[in-house]
Structure 1
């Protein structure tokens, strides 16, 4: 019996050494979770139960459990490197099988899909609109980066925040002529875009009228007048009173590029008449030309944006994180991925930063949670356990030999 008991101890110590060795070997593996060997004692039982005077029968391995504590987050400045700070796993599609991982060292395959080093595709919630806030959390799709250009958008509104000098005088020449600077007081220009993404120049000319606190605003696109002058009137405190709403809609301008007519609304609500100097405090429009992909950005909530040269950021989706009732029950498949089992329970999926899901850090990786000093101490303890059990076998052998030699 002593031989078997000591042998079980040797086997347990060997398993402990194997687990410790695997932890040390993966000390630099991205997203690796350290394992721990767990043991239980053995007692022989009869139909009458275990006697209080019965010696134990040794030890057995009751399980090797993963320790899902947070690893340190190390920054890499590579956008496709992702780390989860908190709970959750990345959800991956491995040739039709759903697997899970904490390792976020992703890359692109030849088809533009974002994959891990073994080719499993990162799963996301697809967007329902272009706002970057609404996603279809009941459906998973693989994340794919498209290389096509971003479509243009025609300008529809121009925000003009101007300040006109209160002491301005009527121009020395009349009538208004955009080619004669003596017929207007001030001017400014902005670039517009038509539906094909072609740029056009809109120029605004300010002309002081003989009436107090009154101006005329002329609009030209590519040198062509668009509509007549817009009357701007201000009160004694310099605030705009005409147009009453602060908005002025221009007639449609048809470009020569074959694009759809450009219909603009001027937002003049921030136009004032103060002081002695002309100033443009705000001049913006809402159109843009075509753009090519220059990179991606990932928010802490896991929203992936494609950035284009025209300043557009299109949401591609939101990273789908998964949490299990019993993550200790997950099956380790190697290559830093786990699979669902009966013991783990089914996954609960959601976006980062909600409920008990962690946040996503772009340009960073979660390192192994192996504490090297602790593992070296475990190695020494397991080695001592092995030696002690081996010594027990040697001692038992001597006792047995002594009994055999009795006459």
Structure 2
């Protein structure tokens, strides 16, 4: 009986060493969770229960559990490296099977899908609009990077924050001619875009009139006058009084590119008449041309944005995180993947930063939660246990040999 008891101890120590060895081997594996061997004692039982005077029958392995504590966040500055700081697993589609992972070392396959190293596709909640705030959380979708250009958007508003000199004088020549600098005081230009994304140059010309605090604003697009001159009137403190709302709606301009007519509104609310110098403090418009994809990024809430060369950031979806009532019940599939089991309970999905889900960190990976020093100590302890049980077998053998040698 002592042989079997000691042998169970050797087997338990061997299992403990195997678990420790696996932990040490994966000390640099992204998203790896430390394993722990757990044991239970053995007692021979009869129909009347275990006798108080019965020696134990050894030890058995009751389970090898994983410790789902947070691993260190290691920054890599690679956009497709993503870490979860807090609760939740990445949700992946592995050839139709839903699996889960804490390793966020993703890449793009030849079809544009964002996948892990084994080819499992990252799952997202698809967007319901382009604001980046609303997502369809009841449906999962593969995250795929589009290879098409970002569509252009025609300019509709131009913000002009100009300061006109209070001591401005009437131009030396008249009438106004955009090709004669003697017929206007100042000018400024900005690039506009039509519905096809083609650039057009808008030029604004300022002409001082003979009336105090009054100017004429001429608007040209690609050298063609758009509407008549607009009167700008300022009060004694230099604030704009005409137009009263600060907005000027220009007539439609139809470009020669075949695009739709450009309908512009000038926002002049920040226009002033101060001092002695002309200045443009703000000049911007809301249109943009087509753009090529230059990369993606993840917000802390897991929203995936595609960034284009035209400055547009389009939401592609929100990373779907999953948690379980009993994480210890998950089945380890290898390759940093887990699957749902009956013991784990049903999955509960949500977005980063909500409920008990953690936040997403872009350009970083969650490292292994294995503490190497602790594992080395565990290895020494398991080795001692193995040696002690082996010594028990040797001692039992000597005792039996002594009995056999009795005459």
Tell me the TM-score normalised to structure 1 length.
0.98
* Residue of structure 1 equivalent to 2:342: 342
Match runs of 1:250-289 below 5 Å: 250-289=250-289
Q: CA deviation at 1:303?
A: 1.2
Is 1:314 aligned to 2:314, yes or no?
A: yes
Aligned length: 407
* Residue of structure 1 equivalent to 2:14: 14
Q: CA deviation at 1:53?
A: 2.1
Match runs of 1:126-141 below 5 Å: 126-141=126-141
Q: CA deviation at 1:217?
A: 0.7
Q: CA deviation at 1:86?
A: 1.3
- Higher alpha-carbon deviation: 175-184 or 326-335: 175-184
* Residue of structure 2 equivalent to 1:372: 372
Match runs of 1:33-44 below 5 Å: 33-44=33-44
* Cα deviation digits, residues 2-46 of structure 1 (max 9, x gap): 122111111111110110111111111111111000011112222
* Residue of structure 2 equivalent to 1:234: 234
Q: 2 CA distance for matches of 1:150 and 1:93?
A: 27
Q: CA deviation at 1:114?
A: 0.6
* Residue of structure 1 equivalent to 2:118: 118
* Residue of structure 2 equivalent to 1:246: 246
* Residue of structure 1 equivalent to 2:164: 164
* Cα deviation digits, residues 156-194 of structure 1 (max 9, x gap): 000011111111111121111111111111110000000
* Cα deviation digits, residues 190-218 of structure 1 (max 9, x gap): 00000111110000011111111111111
Q: CA deviation at 1:401?
A: 2.3
Q: CA deviation at 1:66?
A: 0.3
1:391 is paired with a residue whose SS is: helix
- Higher alpha-carbon deviation: 163-172 or 10-19: 163-172
Q: 2 CA distance for matches of 1:227 and 1:129?
A: 36
Q: CA deviation at 1:394?
A: 1.4
Is 1:146 aligned to 2:164, yes or no?
A: no
* Residue of structure 1 equivalent to 2:363: 363
Q: CA deviation at 1:48?
A: 2.3
* Residue of structure 2 equivalent to 1:88: 88
Question: Stretches of 4+ moved more than 4 A in 1?
Answer: none
* Residue of structure 2 equivalent to 1:155: 155
Q: CA deviation at 1:406?
A: 2.9
* Residue of structure 2 equivalent to 1:177: 177
* Cα deviation digits, residues 308-335 of structure 1 (max 9, x gap): 1111111111111111111111100001
Q: 2 CA distance for matches of 1:397 and 1:71?
A: 47
Q: CA deviation at 1:147?
A: 1.2
Q: CA deviation at 1:50?
A: 2.1
Q: CA deviation at 1:70?
A: 1.3
* Cα deviation digits, residues 121-180 of structure 1 (max 9, x gap): 000111111111111111110110111111111100000111111111111211111111
Match runs of 1:183-222 below 5 Å: 183-222=183-222
- Higher alpha-carbon deviation: 188-197 or 388-397: 388-397
In the alignment, structure 2 segments of 5+ residues that lack a partner are none
Q: 1 CA distance for matches of 2:134 and 2:273?
A: 42
Q: CA RMSD in A?
A: 1.1
